[in-house]
Amino acid sequence: MPPSSALKSLLTSWVLTALVSSIVESYKCTSCSLYGCSADMQRTCETSKSCFVSKQELRASGMLLQHVEEKGCSSSKCVPRTFSATLGDDQTFGYSHQCCEDELCNQGDFQVPQKSSEPNGIKCPACYNVYDISCDPVLLDCTGTETKCVEVIGIDQL
C-alpha cells in the first residue's frame, strides 16, 4: 500500500471514530409528577443524564395517608438517597430517590423501603401537632438507621 493511501485510510478511520464517539445517544424515561404516574408518559433523555424515580410517603400507624411520586430525566448527576423519619403521634415519613440508566428503567412500580421497627437506643424529643404551633414534647425511641434528632416547625397555609 503506497504511503499516501495508508495516510488516507488512517485519516478516514480517525474521522469516523471521532464522529461515532461524538454522537450523543439517548433513551426514554417515564416522566410524570405528583400523585400518580402512568407508563404512557415518556421523555427522551441524553445518556449523560439518568432516569430517576422519587417517592415520598406519610404514614400513620402503618397506614398510608399520602404519597407523592415523580419520575423523569435527571437534570444533573443523579444521586440515590433514602431516609425515614419518625414524626411522633405514630406518624412516619419515608423518602427514596433512585437512579437508573437504561431504556424505560424507571417505568415499574417503586416502593419506599419500610423503616425498621427495631429500637436502636437513640431517643429524640418529639412533638407533632397538626392543630397548633406548640405542644409538649415526649421522648421517642428512634429505630433502624434513624440516628439524628431534628426540629421542624411548619405552617400549612391553604
Which of 112, 99, 109, 111 lies closest to 73, judged by CA? 99
In a domain, 107, yes or no: yes
Which of 50, 59, 56 lies closest to 35, judged by CA? 56
In a domain, 128, yes or no: yes
In a domain, 8, yes or no: no
Which tens digit of pLDDT belongs to each residue from 134-149? 788 888 888 888 888 8
d(CA 124, CA 147): 9
Burial class (CB in 10 A: 0-12, 13-18, 19+), 75: exposed
Which tens digit of pLDDT belongs to each residue from 74-90? 888 889 999 888 877 77
Number of domains in the chain: 1
Q: What percent of the chain has pLDDT over 70?
A: 77
Which tens digit of pLDDT belongs to each residue from 43-52? 888 776 789 9
In a domain, 29, yes or no: yes
In a domain, 9, yes or no: no
In a domain, 158, yes or no: no
d(CA 89, CA 97): 26
In a domain, 14, yes or no: no
Domain encompassing residue 103: 25-143
In a domain, 149, yes or no: no
CATH of the domain at 57: 2.10.60.10
Which tens digit of pLDDT belongs to each residue from 8-61? 554 455 444 444 444 446 778 888 877 566 656 788 887 767 899 999 999 888
Buried b (16+ CB within 10 A) or exposed e, 58-73: ebeeeeeeeeebbbbb
State the pTM of this model. 0.70
d(CA 21, CA 12): 14
User: Which cell numbers in the block locate residue 131?
Assistant: 392543630
Burial class (CB in 10 A: 0-12, 13-18, 19+), 27: middle
The answer to whether 124 and 139 have CB atoms below 8 angstroms apart is: yes
d(CA 6, CA 139): 80
